[in-house]
Amino acid sequence: MTEITIFKAKKIVTMNERQPVCDHVAVRDGVILGAGKLDELTGWGEYTLDERFAEKVIFPGFIEGHCHSWEGAAWEDTFVGFLDRTSPSREVHKGLKSVDEVVAKLVDAEKELETSDEPLKGWGLDPIFFDRRVTRTDLDRVSTSRPVVVVHQSGHVINVNTHVLEKANITGDMDVDGLVKDSDGNPTGELMGIALYQSALKAVGMNSVLDMGKDKEKSLRWFAHSAQIAGVTTVTDLASELKPELLAVQADLASRDDYPIRVVPAFLGQMVPTNEGVEWITSLAGQSTDKLRLGLVKLIVDGSIQGLTARFKQPGYYNGAPNGMWYVDPMELPNIIAAYHKAGSQIHIHTNGDEATEAALDAIEAVLKQYPSSDARFTLQHCQMAHDAHFRRMAKLGVCANLFSNHLYYWGDQHYELTMGPERACRMDAANTAGKLGVHYSIHSDAPVTHLSPLFTAWCAVNRQTQSGRVLGENEKITVEQALYAITLGAAYTLKLDTELGSIECGKRADFTILEDDPLTVSPTKLKDIEVWGTVLGGRPFPVSEIVS
C-alpha cells in the first residue's frame, strides 16, 4: 500500500467547473484521488496531512504550450537583452537599455573567461529598441584578440568583432546578401542571414546559434529550472530534431525522480524528407514515458513579424517592407501534413502572418477532406494575425490556437508603429475573438524568444499593454479566469493531454503550481508579480528555493 498525502491549502483553484474552488487535495502514487473538503477525502484511507501549503494557493500545474529547450542552453552565454530576465539559477539580469550597457556587460563577462582565446558569446540583443545599430567597434572594446559574437533576439542576425571578420575573411567587397556595410563600404560586423553568420561562426570554431550547448544534461536541467521558477510543470520543446543523442539525455533525465517537469518535444517535420520523418516519429511512438511525451510534430510555415519575415496578405507590412518568406512551399504543405496526419501524429503548425495562417487552414481542410478525423486537434502556433474568418474556420475544423500574447508587451509598440499599424496591432493575438468564436486556445512565451512565465503571459492577454503603456485592443482583452484556464486546461487541450493534466480532480496527475497569492483576487495588473513558491510534480514538491545553479 502506498501512502496517501492530503495537501491542505488556503485555496485550491481546480479548473473543474463542478467544484471550482476547494482547500484539500489527496494524492497517491502521483495521482489525484480527489479534491474537496478534508472529510470528503479521508475515506480513501490512512493519510498524512501536509500543511506546508496552508497559507498558499494551489493551481493545476501551469503548462507552457510553446517554448524551446534552448531556454536552458542560452544561459551558457551572456544575456544582453532589453528587458529584465531571471536566469535558471534565479539571478535577475537587468535589461540593458543602451549599446554602452551591452558592451559593459560583455566586458565584465570577458574577464570571467578562463583561457585567452575562448570565444565570448552574448544572446538576446534587440537593437530595435536602440537608437543605433551595434558595430564591430563596439565589440572590439570587449576584445580584439578573441572572437566576440552576439546573437540577436531573432536568432537570425549576429554581431561580431573585427577578430571574427578577419578569421572568416569577410570583407566589404564581397557580394553576399545580408552583409551590413558602413559608408566606407566596410562591414560593420552585423551579419544577417544563414550564409554569413554560419560561415562566421564556423570560422572561429563556434557551433550553430541553435546548438544545445556543450553539456546537454546541464542545459536540460536549466530548462527545467526556468520552468519550475515560473510555476510550470509541463513544457513543450516545440521544434526538436529529436536527435538520438539528445533524446537519450532527455529520456534519462525524465526517468529521474528529481527532474521537475514533464516534457513534450515536437519533432520538426521539415528537417528530413517527409517519409523518413514519418518513419522516425512512428518508431518513437511506444517510447513515451511519464515525463517525456513523444509523438507531436511541428511544421513551420513562415517567419516572424518583428523580423519582417512573416507572410502577409494585402496590404502587407505597414512600413512597406516586402512580404516575408515561406519556410515551406504552400503548395507542398498539404502533402507534408497528410503524411504525418496519416501516421497518427498530432501536428502543430507555426504561422505568424495571415497569409501563412490561411495556407495552413487550406492545407488542413484539404487533408481532413481526404483523411477525415474526428479529433486531429491541429494547433496553429502563434497564429498572431488571424482574422475573425480564420477563427471561424478553425472552430469548424477543430483547429486550436496557441497565441503569442507576450508579443503584445515585448514588441507591441513596434507592431503599432512599424510592422502592422494601429488597426491590425490592436487585433494581434486575438484571444477574446478566438474564445468567442469557439476556438480552443492557449497562450505562450516561445521562450527563450521571450521569458518563460505563464503568469506574465496571462497578464499580457488580460491587460494587452505595451512597454510604453499603450493598450492594444481593449476588445481583445480576456478575463483573468479565461487567461488562467488558457495556461492550464487550455494548453493541456492543445497537447491532447487534457485527460491527464490541466485540472485538479480525481484521476488526474498530481501536478500543481504553488502560489503565494491568489491571482483571482489580486488586481489584474498585478498578475505577473505574484510570487511562485514552486511546483508539485506527480505529488512531489519542488520548491523554487531549493534550486541550486
Partner 1 sequence: MKFGAQFWAGVLFRFPRLYPEWDIAVSSITPAISPSLVPVTVIGGFLGTGKTTLLNEVLSSQTGIRYAVMVNDFGSLAVDDALVKAHDGDTISFANGCVCCSLGDNLIKSIDALLERDPKPEQFLIEVSGVANPKAIADVATLHPGLRRDLIITLVDAETVMERAGDPRLADTLSMQLVPADLIVLNKCDLVGDTKLARVCSYLSDLYPSQMVRTVHSRLPVEYLSAKVLTDPLEPKLDLGKSEPATQSSHDPESQFYRCTVNLPDNMMCDQLRALLREHQSSLLRAKGFVYDEQGTLVSIQLSGNQIEVQSHFDGAGEFSGGSSKPYLVAIGLVPLDAFKQAVLANLCQ
C-alpha cell at 24: 484539500
User: Quick one: which segment of 48-56, 249-257, 446-454, 467-475 binds Zn ion (CB under 5 A)?
Assistant: 446-454
C-alpha cell at 221: 536541467
Q: Which helix (H) or strand (E) covers residue 9, if one does?
A: strand 4-13
C-alpha cell at 90: 534565479
Under DSSP, the state recorded for 471 is B
Query: Strand 157-160 and strand 148-152: pairing?
Result: antiparallel
Q: Which of 79, 326, 340, 456 binds partner 1 (CB under 8 A)?
A: 326
Residue owning grid cell 489527496 = 26
Q: What is the 3-state secondary structure (H, E, C) of 17-31?
A: CCCCEEEEEEEECCE
The residues in 118-137 that bind Zn ion, with binding defined as CB under 5 A, are: none
Of the two residues 26 and 209, which places its CB atom closer to partner 1 in the complex? 209
Which of 89, 66, 64, 65 lies closest to 79 in space, CA to CA? 89
* Beta carbon of residue 149, minimum distance to partner 1 (angstroms, whole number): 14
Peptide bond into 519 cis (omega under 30): no
Q: Which of 302, 358, 446, 511 binds Zn ion (CB under 5 A)?
A: 446
For residue 214, state whether it binds partner 1 (rule: CB under 8 A): no
For residue 237, state whether it binds Zn ion (rule: CB under 5 A): no
Of the two residues 103 and 151, which places its CB atom closer to Zn ion in the complex? 151
* Beta carbon of residue 272, minimum distance to partner 1 (angstroms, whole number): 6
The residues in 276-295 that bind partner 1, with binding defined as CB under 8 A, are: 276, 279-280
CA-CA-CA-CA torsion sign (12, 13, 14, 16): positive
User: Quick one: which segment of 142-150, 267-275, 521-529, 535-543 binds partner 1 (CB under 8 A)?
Assistant: 267-275
Choose the contact partner of 446 out of partner 1, Zn ion, none; CB within 5 to 8 A by kind. Answer: Zn ion
Of the two residues 86 and 186, which places its CB atom closer to partner 1 in the complex? 186
Please work out, in degrees rounded to the nearest 5, the angle formed at the alpha carbon of residue 451 by the alpha carbons of 446 and 455.
95
Of the two residues 240 and 488, which places its CB atom closer to Zn ion in the complex? 240
Binding mask 402-441 for Zn ion (x = CB under 5 A): ----------------------------------------
User: Quick one: which segment of 52-60, 140-148, 261-269, 443-451 binds Zn ion (CB under 5 A)?
Assistant: 443-451
C-alpha cell at 305: 513579424
- Cα distances from 61 to residues 155, 508, 536, in angstroms, run 30, 11, 8
For residue 321, state whether it binds partner 1 (rule: CB under 8 A): no
Of the two residues 38 and 271, which places its CB atom closer to partner 1 in the complex? 271
Residue owning grid cell 497565441 = 403
Q: Which of 183, 314, 521, 523 binds partner 1 (CB under 8 A)?
A: 314
Choose the contact partner of 194 out of partner 1, Zn ion, none; CB within 5 to 8 A by kind. Answer: partner 1
Q: Using an 8 Å Cβ cutoff, are 261 and 319 in contact?
A: no
The total number of residues shown for the chain amounts to 549
Q: Which of 57, 134, 209, 253 binds partner 1 (CB under 8 A)?
A: 209
Q: What is the 3-state secondary structure (H, E, C) of 477-510?
A: CCCHHHHHHHHHHHHHHHCCCCCCCCCCCCCCEC
Alpha-carbon distance 43 to 204, whole Å? 66
Query: Strand 379-382 and strand 400-403: pairing?
Result: parallel
The answer for residues whose C-beta is within 8 angstroms of residue 314's C-beta and 6 or more apart is: none
Of the two residues 16 and 445, which places its CB atom closer to Zn ion in the complex? 445
Alpha-carbon distance 236 to 174, whole Å? 41
Q: Is 545 exposed, middle or buried (0-12, 13-18, 19+ CB in 10 A)?
A: exposed
For residue 322, state whether it binds partner 1 (rule: CB under 8 A): yes
Choose the contact partner of 198 out of partner 1, Zn ion, none; CB within 5 to 8 A by kind. Answer: partner 1
* Beta carbon of residue 373, minimum distance to partner 1 (angstroms, whole number): 23
What residue number has its CB nearest to Zn ion?
446
DSSP 3-state assignment of 164?
Answer: helix
232 alpha carbon, distance to own chain's centre: 12
Q: Which of 137, 208, 319, 525 binds partner 1 (CB under 8 A)?
A: 208
* Beta carbon of residue 446, minimum distance to Zn ion (angstroms, whole number): 4
* Beta carbon of residue 208, minimum distance to partner 1 (angstroms, whole number): 4
C-alpha cell at 272: 528530413
Choose the contact partner of 276 out of partner 1, Zn ion, none; CB within 5 to 8 A by kind. Answer: partner 1
For residue 125, state whether it binds partner 1 (rule: CB under 8 A): no
* Beta carbon of residue 223, minimum distance to partner 1 (angstroms, whole number): 19
The residues in 334-373 that bind partner 1, with binding defined as CB under 8 A, are: 336, 355, 359
The residues in 147-206 that bind partner 1, with binding defined as CB under 8 A, are: 155-156, 168-170, 174-178, 193-199, 202
For residue 64, state whether it binds Zn ion (rule: CB under 5 A): no
* Beta carbon of residue 154, minimum distance to Zn ion (angstroms, whole number): 8
DSSP 3-state assignment of 444?
Answer: coil
Q: Using an 8 Å Cβ cutoff, are 454 and 447 in contact?
A: no
The residues that touch partner 1, with contacts defined as CB under 8 A, are 155-156, 168-170, 174-178, 193-199, 202, 207-210, 241, 243-244, 268-276, 279-280, 300, 311, 313-314, 322-323, 325-332, 336, 355, 359
The residues that touch Zn ion, with contacts defined as CB under 5 A, are 446
